[in-house]
Amino acid sequence: MTTNLTLTDQGVAYLTLNRPEVHNAFDDHLIDQLLDHLVSVKQQQARLLVLGAKGQHFSAGADLNWMRRMAKASESDNLQDAHQLAQLMHQLDQLPCPTIARVQGAAYGGAVGLVACCDLAIATSSARFCLSEVKIGLIPAVISPFVSRAIGLRAMRHYALTAEVIDAETAQRLGLITHRVPLPNSGASAQTGLDEAVDHYVQQLLAASPQSLQQTKALLHHIEHTPLGPQLLDHTCQVIAQARVSAQGQEGLNAFLEKRPPQWPTFKPEHP
Residues 250 and 160 in one domain: no
Out of 206, 236, 266, a domain closes at 206
Q: CA angle at residue 25 from 24 to 27, to 5 degrees?
A: 125
Q: How far is CA 54 from CA 18, 121, 183, 204, 233, in A?
A: 6, 16, 20, 24, 44
Residues 25 and 153 in one domain: yes
CA distance 70 to 78: 6
Residues 114 and 237 in one domain: no
Q: For residue 33, is it within any domain? A: yes
Domain that holds residue 139: 3-206
Written as one letter, the residue type at 139 is I
Structural domain count of the chain: 2
Q: Find the CATH number of the domain harbouring 17.
A: 3.90.226.10
What is the DSSP secondary-structure string of 148-204?
Answer: HHHH-HHHHHHHHHH---EEHHHHHHHTS-SEEEPPPPTT--HHHHHHHHHHHHHHH
Q: How far is CA 3 from CA 25, 183, 187, 201, 210, in A?
A: 11, 28, 30, 23, 26
Residues 59 and 147 in one domain: yes
Residues 40 and 138 in one domain: yes
Q: For residue 58, is it within any domain? A: yes
Q: Mind listing the pLDDT tens digit of every residue in the chain (272 residues)?
A: 788 999 999 999 999 999 999 999 999 999 999 999 999 999 999 999 999 999 999 999 988 888 888 888 899 999 999 999 999 999 999 999 999 999 999 999 999 999 999 999 999 999 999 999 999 999 999 999 999 999 999 999 999 999 999 999 999 999 999 999 987 776 567 788 999 999 999 999 999 999 999 999 999 999 999 999 999 999 999 999 999 999 999 999 999 999 999 999 999 877 65
Residues 216 and 199 in one domain: no
Per-residue pLDDT at 184: 73
Q: For residue 267, is it within any domain? A: no
Residues 59 and 184 in one domain: yes
Residues 24 and 52 in one domain: yes
Spatial contact of 151 and 175, defined as CB atoms under 8 Å apart = yes
Residues 104 and 123 in one domain: yes
